[in-house]
Structure 1
Amino acid sequence: MEIKNGDIAVVMVPLPAQGHLNQLLHLSRLISSYKIPVHYVGTTTHNRQARLRLQNWDLADLHFHDFSLPPFETTPPPNPDSPDKFPAQIIPLFFATSHLRRPLEALVRRLCGAARRVVVVYDCAMAWVVQDVPSLPNAECYFFNSVSVFQIYTYFMEVAGKAFPADGPRVLREIPSLDGTFPDEFWDYWHIQEKFLGNSAGVLHNTCRVIEGQFLDLFEKEGILGSLKQWAIGPFNPVEIPEQRDSDEKRRRRHESLHWLDNHPRNSVVLVSFGTTTTLSGQQIKELATGLEKSRQKFVWVLRDADNADIFSGDDDSRRSDQLPEGYEERVRGRGIIVRDWAPQLDILAHPATGGFITHCGWNSCMESMSMGVPMAAWPMHSDQPRNSVLITKFLGIGILVRDWERRQEVVTSTTIEQCIVLLMDTPEGEEMRRKAADLSAALKRSVMDGGGTRKELDSFIVHITR
């Protein structure tokens, strides 16, 4: 399906945190493939960050709008030894985004002067920035949920004091508590955003019926968002990674981890990565290092601290690898590689040598892993991750839990880590999870092709906004 609409413009408004920037940048690429101009709005710093970390994908058709923020008070990163892993250092940045309201309104107003309709897609955690858009005569807003529908559904049901349906999926009776998932400062920020969500004309979800069909049905049945039309159009990320055969230069530009993976057999390597919002304690780094070593499995370990509000500030200290056991890298040489900077996670997961993923279960990472058919060892740290981990392990059956959320204040021992890695990578149980993950990946790939369920929903959204 191809639609040429020079009189329609789409504006993307992401939350300035990597997992959110990334999702809306991939969605921008999907919508621009319909020959619709897409404008990506953010701070100068975070637009640069988004482009840098999506380095291997063509962004030439997107229009980036760089806005500045006035100086805001920053807070130090959380103590690595604290059981609270939420990246509190970026909360002041979230509050500072209120200053994007006027520049965004001016941009949309300008686009409205040239386009028949301007469609603003915004992260639901940026609702206050777009609050003026619905008052413009030819503009409309759609909010985007960056987390699983399972997370959203269970959250809203609890807030409303409603019981889950008795005949609903059993996993609804096994959800972990929201305690410890977010600090009070974030809830303060979120409750401000909730006030403006009603200004929207519809909702977009980065999921699909292949993954969360039952929860999408329950979500709609409960009327949690009233009569708002909803589209489940995920995964936004590519589900196929083309091989870089174009030139020697492009192959040289591949990340070091990909060259390393080229030398290992299929499904023989476990990726270890906790995203951009987690900082491990020194003690936990040592236990993880020891568990990886004792497992005798091959691994790619992305060992870095959580992002600061500005990753280019020079204050981002990713040298936690200084806390590795003495002589560690020598001992694991050839069997493991440690990456101390940004790593192309989607490309690593897509590599045939990758057969497992130790992950914090951020929704971005879950969707990428499911897209590439890689089973997970779920180790949630904060936010939506505890419930995502239950969805992955107890509902979809494509992973194991490293640690229950109720035991989050405990250091995970090297013995537990070793056992989880061996189970995932070298047992019939792990092989069955890999088979299920491969089947899910195949179903996802079919869903985004012409005639597939996800593609139909995306086509439906495009038809709706170009009506």
Structure 2
Amino acid sequence: MTSTNSSNNNSNYDNNHHDDDDNNDVIHFVLFPLMVHGHTIPMVDIAKLLTQTAPSIRATIMTTPQNAARLRHSLASHPRIHLTLLKTSQACQNIDQLPSMNHSIPFLSSLANEIQPQALALCKALSPKPTCIISDVGLPWTLHIASHIGVPWVSFNGSSCFGNVAMSKIFGSGICESVESDGEYFVVPELEHRIEVCKAQLPNGYMNDGMIKFIKMMGEAERKSYGMVMNSFEELEGSYVSEMKKIKGYKVWCIGPVSLCNKHYEDKAQRGKELRGEKDSSNNDEVMIWLDSQDPNSVLYVCLGSLHNLKTPQLIELGLGLEASKKAFIWVVRASNKLEKWIEEEGFEERMKGRGVIIRDWAPQLLILSHPAIGGFLTHCGWNSILEGVAAGLPMLTWPLFSDQFLNEKLVADALNIGVKVGAKYPAMKMKEEGEEEEEEEDWIVEVRKEDVKEGIERVMGEGEEAEERRKRAREVGVMANKALEDGCSSHLNIALFIHDILKPNNIST
């Protein structure tokens, strides 16, 4: 293997070829993850799953230098996964680092213009030749590369089948046109479950014109796709998987929960860590030691994702609700001077000492969720987190913030009956039109009060038949999640079917 950095020959960096491969026998997947924390992580897991399937399978992940550097350590124990650098002049190379989501579309457009020709040249030079390109739907320009080199283009959709189907039914029916206000609830037509939603909670509700145009571009690329891989499993979403196949009109392979490819302690401990720029792992041990001292199913894990932008007044209410619940908790908070000031001035962390642990910015989520002391998960309903909570067999307290998260909440709370809604109705994030000013913290309306948090925690982790039945159901779904990737079960079979389909003769992207 030829390294792009002579001082780091074991780096997994490879912009040329794999000298030790028998090119005729190797199945070579090239993956393009979207440059954002929540999309890169499952794509890396997909690369791990594929290479774990057979020794003849190789994977190359193409991404920018900053993102590649952050993946290097976690891939060190996966020699058949290689990183290829897409060099760029951009100082910021990850959506997580942007000042706000308003900058995401200009960032992606600029990056695409710069790296697309380079990515094509690198794919043409790869040896063995790529067998298939798997691309995040947020990088539609990679379709051109697959077409040019004559291989199937498969998209990765990081959301749920349920959410995709619900959106299709909503817009196909035109029901939104009969709804007067953004906050008025309506029943989504033609679904197996009774699902009520309002316009404000739909993914397009937080979008500006630039985002809507970009979504259309992604849709045009998707229609030319050979198929789509999903981080889900058929037992979880049932009829919605079948319905999504009908709607899309092409193959859909559910191969998740992809996080379960991380079988060893170190893989779980490192997953996503470097993507957030975190290097010191000493506090991980402290958290796990603290969990070891807690009773089984007694601790609530609280994490609202890597992109959340709840204002300080709302976060304070969350903290006070955790305190009022009397339950032990781990609370992952993003760096915020105003929140830190409140924590310090009010002595919150000191008051919670022994009962509550605050982790700044990043936590080893897979390790924590799988610990027997964890009895519930307060989540923002990002699809990665939902699947990780499901795989851990945990009941959830749902607090969606934007995008598809409100629909994910409906699946968890209304269809699967393994979650309780904390009461958030409106998105916490809104895409601004050009020239529109950001909302000041002082003007922020606190939607979820500490009493709501306390009540929700009690319904998830308290006594009573309803809570116990929900926990039992969550454990049952967790068993199904872990079984899905076992030999001969649904996701394991879908991975084999995906590989078989990709290897069909004359199977190229159109």
Normalised to the residue count of structure 1, the TM-score between the two structures is 0.85
Distance in 1 (alpha carbons) for counterparts of 2:427 and 2:252: 36
Q: Which moved more, 1:179-188 or 1:190-199?
A: 179-188
Question: 1:104 aligns to what?
Answer: 119
Residue 165 of structure 1, CA deviation: 9.3
User: Which aligned pairs between 1:444-455 and structure 2 lie closer than 5 A?
Assistant: 444-455=481-492
**Inter-CA distance 131–213: structure 2 relative to 1 (3 Å threshold):** same
1:180 and 2:239 aligned = no
Question: 1:310 aligns to what?
Answer: none
Residue 6 of structure 1, CA deviation: 3.6
Question: 2:58 aligns to what?
Answer: 37
Question: 1:215 aligns to what?
Answer: 240
Question: 2:418 aligns to what?
Answer: 398
Kept after mapping to 2: 8 A contact 1:12/1:24 = yes
User: Which aligned pairs between 1:219-258 and structure 2 lie closer than 5 A?
Assistant: 219-220=244-245, 223-226=246-249, 228-238=250-260, 241-242=263-264, 254-258=284-288
1:438 and 2:470 aligned = no
2:159 corresponds, among 139, 142, 147, to: 147
2:84 corresponds, among 57, 60, 65, to: 65
Q: Secondary structure at the match of 2:412?
A: helix
1:330 and 2:350 aligned = yes
**Inter-CA distance 192–397: structure 2 relative to 1 (3 Å threshold):** same
Amino acid at match of 2:321: G
The one-character-per-residue Cα deviations of 1:59-92 (angstroms, maximum 9, x if unpaired) are: 33310112222337999735xxxxxxxx335444
Q: Secondary structure at the match of 1:278?
A: coil
Amino acid at match of 1:185: G
Q: Which moved more, 1:260-269 or 1:393-402?
A: 260-269
Residue 240 of structure 1, CA deviation: 7.3
Residue 351 of structure 1, CA deviation: 0.7
Distance in 1 (alpha carbons) for counterparts of 2:98 and 2:32: 26
**Inter-CA distance 252–72: structure 2 relative to 1 (3 Å threshold):** closer
The one-character-per-residue Cα deviations of 1:80-133 (angstroms, maximum 9, x if unpaired) are: xxxxxxx3354443233313311221122112x643x52100111111233232
Distance in 1 (alpha carbons) for counterparts of 2:463 and 2:103: 40
Q: Which runs of 5+ in 1 are unaligned?
A: 79-86, 245-249, 306-316
Kept after mapping to 2: 8 A contact 1:269/1:355 = yes
User: Which aligned pairs between 1:58-457 and structure 2 lie closer than 5 A?
Assistant: 58-71=77-90, 77-78=99-100, 87-98=101-112, 99-111=114-126, 114-115=128-129, 118-137=131-150, 139-161=151-173, 168-174=191-197, 177-178=201-202, 180-220=205-245, 223-226=246-249, 228-238=250-260, 241-242=263-264, 254-305=284-335, 320-324=339-343, 326-406=346-426, 410-428=446-464, 429-457=466-494
Q: Secondary structure at the match of 1:196?
A: helix
Residue 18 of structure 1, CA deviation: 0.7
Distance in 2 (alpha carbons) for counterparts of 1:209 and 1:437: 16
Question: 1:311 aligns to what?
Answer: none
Amino acid at match of 1:169: E
Kept after mapping to 2: 8 A contact 1:29/1:59 = yes
Distance in 2 (alpha carbons) for counterparts of 1:453 and 1:19: 24
Alignment RMSD (CA, Å): 2.9
Residue 431 of structure 1, CA deviation: 2.5
Amino acid at match of 1:420: G
Amino acid at match of 1:46: N
Q: Secondary structure at the match of 1:224?
A: helix
Q: Which runs of 5+ in 2 are unaligned?
A: 1-22, 176-186, 267-279, 429-444, 505-510
Percent identical among aligned pairs is 28
Distance in 2 (alpha carbons) for counterparts of 1:415 and 1:51: 44
Q: Secondary structure at the match of 1:271?
A: strand
How many matched pairs? 433
Distance in 1 (alpha carbons) for counterparts of 2:381 and 2:154: 26
Distance in 2 (alpha carbons) for counterparts of 1:319 and 1:140: 49
Distance in 1 (alpha carbons) for counterparts of 2:283 and 2:314: 33
Question: 2:68 aligns to what?
Answer: 47
Question: 1:17 aligns to what?
Answer: 36
Amino acid at match of 2:400: P
Q: Secondary structure at the match of 1:180?
A: helix
Distance in 1 (alpha carbons) for counterparts of 2:334 and 2:470: 28
Amino acid at match of 1:43: T
Q: Secondary structure at the match of 2:307?
A: coil
Q: Secondary structure at the match of 1:337?
A: strand
Question: 1:83 aligns to what?
Answer: none
**Inter-CA distance 412–38: structure 2 relative to 1 (3 Å threshold):** same
Amino acid at match of 2:164: I
Residue 47 of structure 1, CA deviation: 2.4
Residue 50 of structure 1, CA deviation: 4.2
**Inter-CA distance 162–183: structure 2 relative to 1 (3 Å threshold):** closer
**Inter-CA distance 392–143: structure 2 relative to 1 (3 Å threshold):** same
Residue 330 of structure 1, CA deviation: 0.9
Kept after mapping to 2: 8 A contact 1:21/1:50 = no
The one-character-per-residue Cα deviations of 1:362-397 (angstroms, maximum 9, x if unpaired) are: 000000000111111000000110000010000000
**Inter-CA distance 143–407: structure 2 relative to 1 (3 Å threshold):** closer
**Inter-CA distance 290–165: structure 2 relative to 1 (3 Å threshold):** closer
Q: Which moved more, 1:359-368 or 1:194-203?
A: 194-203
Kept after mapping to 1: 8 A contact 2:400/2:427 = no
**Inter-CA distance 407–155: structure 2 relative to 1 (3 Å threshold):** closer
Distance in 2 (alpha carbons) for counterparts of 1:94 and 1:171: 37
Q: Which moved more, 1:171-180 or 1:369-378?
A: 171-180
Normalised to the residue count of structure 2, the TM-score between the two structures is 0.78
**Inter-CA distance 121–251: structure 2 relative to 1 (3 Å threshold):** closer
Question: 1:247 aligns to what?
Answer: none
Residue 217 of structure 1, CA deviation: 1.8
Q: Secondary structure at the match of 1:405?
A: coil
